[in-house]
Amino acid sequence: MKQSHPIAHDLVLVGGGHTHVEVLRQFAMRRPDGIRLTLISRDIETPYSGMLPGYLAGHYRFEECHVDLSPLAMAAGARLYQSNAVGLDLSAGRVLCPDRPSVAFDTVSFDIGSTPARAAISGHEHALAIKPVHAFLDQWRRVEPGLLALGREVEIAIVGGGTGGVELALCLHHRIRTAFKAAQKSNRVNVHIITDKADILTTHSAAVRRRLHAALRRKNIRVHTGQTVDCIQQNAVHGLDGFRLGTDVTVIATHASAPGWLQDTGLALDDAGFIRVNNQLRSVSDPRVFAAGDIASFNPSLAKNGVYAVRQGPVLAQTLRTLPGPKPAEVFSPQKRTLALISTGDRNAIASYGPLAVQGAWVWRLKNWIDQRWMDKYRSLKMGSTSEMSAMRCGGCGAKVPADLLGQVLSEFQTDEDDDILIGLRASDDAAVTRPPPGKVAVQTVDHFRTFMDDPYLLGRVAATHALSDVYAMGADPSTALALVTLPFAKEAVLAEDLRQLLHGAQETLRAAEVRLVGGHTGEGQELAFGLSVTGYADEDKLMKKSGLHAGDVLILTKPLGTGALLAGWMQGRVRHDDLKPAIQSMLISNRQAARILVAHGVSTCTDVTGFGLLGHLGEIVTASNAHAVIDPHCIPILPGAAALLRDGVKSTLHPGNIDAAGRYMKADTDLANADILFDPQTSGGLLGAIPSASADKVIDALRLNGAHHAAAIGRVTEGESGRISLERL
Ligand SMILES: Cc1cc2nc3c(=O)[nH]c(=O)nc-3n(C[C@H](O)[C@H](O)[C@H](O)COP(=O)(O)OP(=O)(O)OC[C@H]3O[C@@H](n4cnc5c(N)ncnc54)[C@H](O)[C@@H]3O)c2cc1C
């Protein structure tokens, strides 16, 4: 018998904007029972709008002004799916994403910001748009060196004369001037602000405008008013009335616009396409939908700024944590006046409050203090304690999930059952029945993981890639698979959804490998777990056993090491989500092609590198082959960030056990001081193959051409003490 709060309500947050980070923080401080939180966000680092101008001016480092959603989601117990929502199916209750299965919700909340309106400007692709900020920063990094290398004046045009456009002009001016000064160049930087209005900052008082005009004049930033930009070319901006300005780079910072796909959702939208909400931040047309920040539209309308998005955070968090009700929802009442602190680029700022305007370095210091305090709230959040478990769940009957639910989910998957599958998923029975190809031997393996990723779809893909590896490493072709699933206690709809996501991921990988899922077992438990038992077939005389090493063979590793340290670091909140990406990509690379290449070039023995680490698995080979191998630690391909983590003592829990086992196969007196990476347990690691030395270069070229971009020769089989490994520079 086990106890748990079953998941009763699926709350999906789309976008990690200023409001949702507060929802995550409040869930991290106290997790509501029964609500499962999923965050879908296109970007994992949310730029804090208040500090963005300061970042562009060069006053802040990237991490000082970006909230890393990954540790925040982890602390909140939220699953983080990095994806770009592109649609909403209200009738099915699902958020649509282009690169993963759609995500089911009971309640969905949008905080996806806005982008500058560009549709009316032809050739806008020749310009940079200030939002999405990540895309802008990427493009700016590419453009900036060219600007700095120009042997003449630099011309920058900003289209848009609102607060964002004006701050941008001042900050980019400061940035480029500072860079020229540092390079002892005297090039002028001519920044232009182009607005279709009669003045800049029309939502602020005349006093504020006067101060900003003065600040702009001091920097020779020209303001072109009453100019509607309708066309942008590579090196020029054109207006409706024959206006033309030559530019080296143009940035669009016009008024906010909403993504077009919202039009197809059936939600009530305002004229500009933003989601209409009431003062509870709830869609006026669908009570399951909430919206906050720029994407929300209120009546009367509010300015699109980060201040409101921030203020909506506590309100939304309070409402969402009481889902599905019945408590009355919190109400958002915007303050009549907001204090705006507008940066002038040079650690000076103007405070705007109603008719008042004050300016000075002290205003910038005040702004900096307020902004730092906001950022501090989202840094170094501790992992919340898992909610107390209460409802009693029976774990008998293998803790199976209901048959109807299973049948419903399985019926959604295409099954490619050929004549060799006598009984599979299509005609289910007590067990799967398959007919082996004549003359072949069966190669069978099983792998099982507790969840190490918060995205079940991704877990399914990685776990399937990992499970198939054993079969490839034996020189066999995988044919069929049985799935072993443990789903966290939840109501049926949630169980079905988890299973769907998991199997979708696994099936995608299995089908790409031409492997048929023929059965499995699904039960409930305290956490998600997934495994596959795979059966493959091979010619008996072509099996790649561990006993085939020959002296002179070159040892080739097909994938970089480091997944153990990186996953451990990520779970401890020490690895940023973006830095985990190379590890995820590596775990998703199938070893199928690599195995074929190794076989084609006369591999003498092969294994896949997994939980025992490189040396543990090589230890098995040298023992079985009675051979001696030398590994050159300098030749080992390593995933970015893994070595630094190991140096800092961040290791997988399996790591110490792998080191303890080293005595069995390492040559006595080997210095293991800097060999940590060689004991790092791998998830879905590469193949370690021994190849006749004459073919080694050809094999590495072929591997690199076929997806194993980091394949490398890492050692040799030499005459020496049999069953032992030594570490040497080769
Ligand atoms: C240069 C500049 C300076 C500014 N300075 C200030 C200022 O000083 N003070 C101020 O109050 N306001 C300022 N603003 C305005 C401010 O940036 C926005 O009002 C604010 O960012 C809106 O916050 P948000 O929470 O709505 O969305 P955002 O903070 O923009 O967050 C949106 C989130 O949603 C994600 N996302 C977007 N689309 C999708 C999708 N389809 N699927 C999944 N995820 C998605 C993004 O990755 C991001 O995580 C400035 C704007 C600019 C351009």
- CATH number, domain containing residue 496: 3.30.1330.10
pLDDT for 361 equals 96
> Of all protein residues, whose CA lies closest to atom 49 belonging to ligand 1?
16
Cβ atoms 267, 299 nearer than 8 A = no
pLDDT band at 494 (very low <50, low <70, confident <90, very high): confident
Q: Is the CB of 191 under 6 A from ligand 1?
A: no
Q: Which of 541, 574, 601 is the last residue of a domain?
A: 541
Q: Is the CB of 253 under 6 A from ligand 1?
A: yes
Residues 511 and 567 in one domain: no
Which helix or strand (DSSP H or E) is residue 716 part of?
strand 712-718
pLDDT band at 578 (very low <50, low <70, confident <90, very high): confident
Considering only CA atoms, which of 632, 722, 716 is closest in space to residue 677?
Answer: 632
User: Average pLDDT for residues 23-31, to the nearest whole number?
Assistant: 93
The Cα 471–Cα 604 span in angstroms is 16
pLDDT band at 401 (very low <50, low <70, confident <90, very high): low
> Of all protein residues, whose CA lies closest to atom 31 belonging to ligand 1?
17
The Cα 622–Cα 631 span in angstroms is 12
User: Average pLDDT for residues 620-645, to the nearest whole number?
Assistant: 95
- CATH number, domain containing residue 607: 3.90.650.10
Most confident of the ranges 211-215, 328-332, 490-494, 573-577: 211-215
Residues 570 and 704 in one domain: yes
In a domain, residue 386? The reply is: no
The Cα 234–Cα 247 span in angstroms is 8
pLDDT for 381 equals 67
Other C-beta atoms lying within 10 Å of the C-beta of residue 569: 25
Residues 181 and 293 in one domain: no
* Cα-trace Rg, the chain: 30
The Cα 378–Cα 374 span in angstroms is 7
Q: Is the CB of 558 under 6 A from ligand 1?
A: no
The Cα 31–Cα 603 span in angstroms is 53
Tokens 């040559």 correspond to 667
Atom of ligand 1 nearest to the CA of 116: 53
Q: Which of 324, 352, 369 is the last residue of a domain?
A: 324
> Of all protein residues, whose CA lies closest to atom 27 belonging to ligand 1?
113
Considering only CA atoms, which of 437, 440, 438, 434 is closest in space to residue 421?
Answer: 434
Cα–ligand 1 centroid distance for 333 (angstroms): 20
Catalytic residue set: 397
pLDDT in tens, 299-357: 889 999 999 999 999 999 999 999 887 777 789 998 888 899 999 999 999 999 999 99
Output the CA–CA distances (angstroms, integers) from residue 621 to 422, 442, 447, 550, 606, in the order listed.
37, 22, 20, 11, 8
Out of 401-410, 416-425, 672-681, which region has the weakest mean confidence (pLDDT)? 401-410
Residues 705 and 684 in one domain: yes
The reported pTM is 0.82
Q: With 50 as the cut, is the pLDDT of residue 388 above it?
A: no
User: Average pLDDT for residues 446-463, to the nearest whole number?
Assistant: 89
Cα–ligand 1 centroid distance for 17 (angstroms): 6
Q: Is the CB of 113 under 6 A from ligand 1?
A: yes
- CATH number, domain containing residue 262: 3.50.50.60
Q: Is the CB of 49 under 6 A from ligand 1?
A: yes
pLDDT band at 650 (very low <50, low <70, confident <90, very high): very high
Residues 559 and 680 in one domain: yes
In a domain, residue 625? The reply is: yes
pLDDT for 6 equals 81
pLDDT in tens, 51-76: 999 999 999 999 999 999 998 998 99
Q: Is the CB of 255 under 6 A from ligand 1?
A: no
Q: Domain of 554? A: 544-727
pLDDT for 400 equals 59
Q: What percentage of the chain carries pLDDT values higher than 70?
A: 96
Q: Is the CB of 294 under 6 A from ligand 1?
A: yes
Cβ atoms 645, 575 nearer than 8 A = yes
Cα–ligand 1 centroid distance for 261 (angstroms): 18
Residues 110 and 134 in one domain: no
Cis amide leading into 324 (omega within 30): yes
Q: With 80 as the cut, is the pLDDT of residue 426 above it?
A: no
In a domain, residue 282? The reply is: yes
* DSSP 8-state secondary structure symbol assigned to residue 406: H
- Token pair, residue 68, equals 């890393």
* DSSP 8-state secondary structure symbol assigned to residue 80: E
Cα–ligand 1 centroid distance for 101 (angstroms): 26
Tokens 């003359």 correspond to 439
pLDDT for 184 equals 86
> Of all protein residues, whose CA lies closest to atom 52 belonging to ligand 1?
164
Cα–ligand 1 centroid distance for 692 (angstroms): 57
- Token pair, residue 606, equals 């092969």
Residues 450 and 591 in one domain: no
User: Average pLDDT for residues 14-31, to the nearest whole number?
Assistant: 95
pLDDT band at 380 (very low <50, low <70, confident <90, very high): low
C-alpha neighbours within 13 Å on the C-beta side of residue 243: 21
State the distance between the two ends of the chain, measured CA to CA, in whole angstroms: 57
Q: Is the CB of 252 under 6 A from ligand 1?
A: no
Q: Is the CB of 160 under 6 A from ligand 1?
A: no
pLDDT for 492 equals 83
Most confident of the ranges 209-213, 376-380, 726-730: 209-213
In a domain, residue 405? The reply is: yes
Query: Can you list the alpha helix ranges (DSSP code H) found in 192-305?
Result: 206-218
**pLDDT, averaged across the chain:** 91
Q: Is the CB of 619 under 6 A from ligand 1?
A: no
pLDDT for 1 equals 30
Residues 246 and 132 in one domain: yes
Cα–ligand 1 centroid distance for 293 (angstroms): 8
Helix axes 306-321 and 18-29, enclosed angle (nearest 10):
40
pLDDT for 393 equals 43
> Of all protein residues, whose CA lies closest to atom 29 belonging to ligand 1?
17
Residues 91 and 233 in one domain: no
Cα–ligand 1 centroid distance for 361 (angstroms): 26
> Of all protein residues, whose CA lies closest to atom 9 belonging to ligand 1?
50
In a domain, residue 338? The reply is: no
Q: Is the CB of 53 under 6 A from ligand 1?
A: yes
Q: Which of 541, 568, 600 is the last residue of a domain?
A: 541
Residues 207 and 281 in one domain: no
Q: What percentage of the chain carries pLDDT values higher than 90?
A: 77
In a domain, residue 372? The reply is: no
In a domain, residue 712? The reply is: yes
Other C-beta atoms lying within 10 Å of the C-beta of residue 96: 18
> Of all protein residues, whose CA lies closest to atom 39 belonging to ligand 1?
112
Residues 575 and 690 in one domain: yes
Residues 153 and 51 in one domain: no
Out of 268-272, 371-375, 668-672, which region has the weakest mean confidence (pLDDT)? 668-672
In a domain, residue 416? The reply is: yes
The Cα 678–Cα 565 span in angstroms is 11
Atom of ligand 1 nearest to the CA of 293: 26
Domain count, the chain: 4
